[in-house]
Amino acid sequence: MLRGMYGAAAGMIAQQQRQEMLTNNLANANTPGFKADQASLRSFPNMLIAAMDTASMPRHAAPYIGELTTGVYLQERMPNYRQGDLAETGNRTDVALLQGVVPQNPENGQPGALFYTVQAAGDGEVRYTRSSNFTVDGQGFLVTSNGNYLLGVDGEPLQVNNESFVVNREGVITSDDGAVVGQLNVVFAENPMLLVKEGNGLLRFEGEGELPTAIGNAAVTYQLQQGFVERSNVDAAQTMTEMMAAYRSFEANQRVLQAYDQSLEKAVNEIGRLG
């Protein structure tokens, strides 16, 4: 009976974690460049139940009774890097990254993904983002909405001086006086699952070194659209449906747990008293 309680409790915890993930997705449905998380639920290994005191059993009788499930858990949260829709804003500082053809990862058959390179405002380390709503800080540098410097192909922050700059489809930036400021560095991740969300639209690469640039890579196609932002790829209606399903599953496990609790209460208060 206690094993059943543990299994129901594990199901409640897994659905609670899934609900938190879906709530975060829904909260970022209007965040430019946000990529929705998706969960993978797995079951714990089954236990093989064997009979005790088998000496009195027939010689050819099988001592094994069967398997017992031990609950489920949320194995991992994986971002969905599907391209979000583009929305025109008319702001020169908004530059959306429109992903074209990218190679697939030979290990899992999933397509790679493209990102901007930024320098984190906190520790100065290289991070990656799909956020596209930029601004110009007081020193004339192109930064994200959270103050992280956009990096060029040379690895240096891009100083555009003011908001009157022009970005072509390859990411080359020209200032208002016609001078070329630099080129936005777009990198290619063959396995985007090695990127970890850090918040504020930033991603940290867990692999070795840094992601390679996509500029000059004949197998990768993309274009940049100035005056546009990439919307979140969260499907609000689908997310609401999944939240309701997670809530119902949580309630079902809760009722099972309550049933076990009532059975234990009866065993303690009634069966124990008869003894």
pLDDT grade for 58, boundaries at 50, 70 and 90: low
Strands 180-183 and 172-174: antiparallel
Indicate if the pLDDT at residue 92 is higher than 80.
Answer: yes
Specify the DSSP class assigned to residue 141. B
The pLDDT value recorded for residue 8 is 85
- Which secondary structure element, helix H or strand E, spans residue 98, and what is its range? strand 95-99
The pLDDT value recorded for residue 71 is 77
| CA 69 to the chain's CA centroid | 29
How far apart CA 83 and CA 227 sit, in angstroms, is 17
The pLDDT value recorded for residue 59 is 62
Per-residue tokens: 86: 């583009």
What are the boundaries of each domain within the chain? Answer: 2-79+235-274, 86-230
pLDDT grade for 48, boundaries at 50, 70 and 90: confident
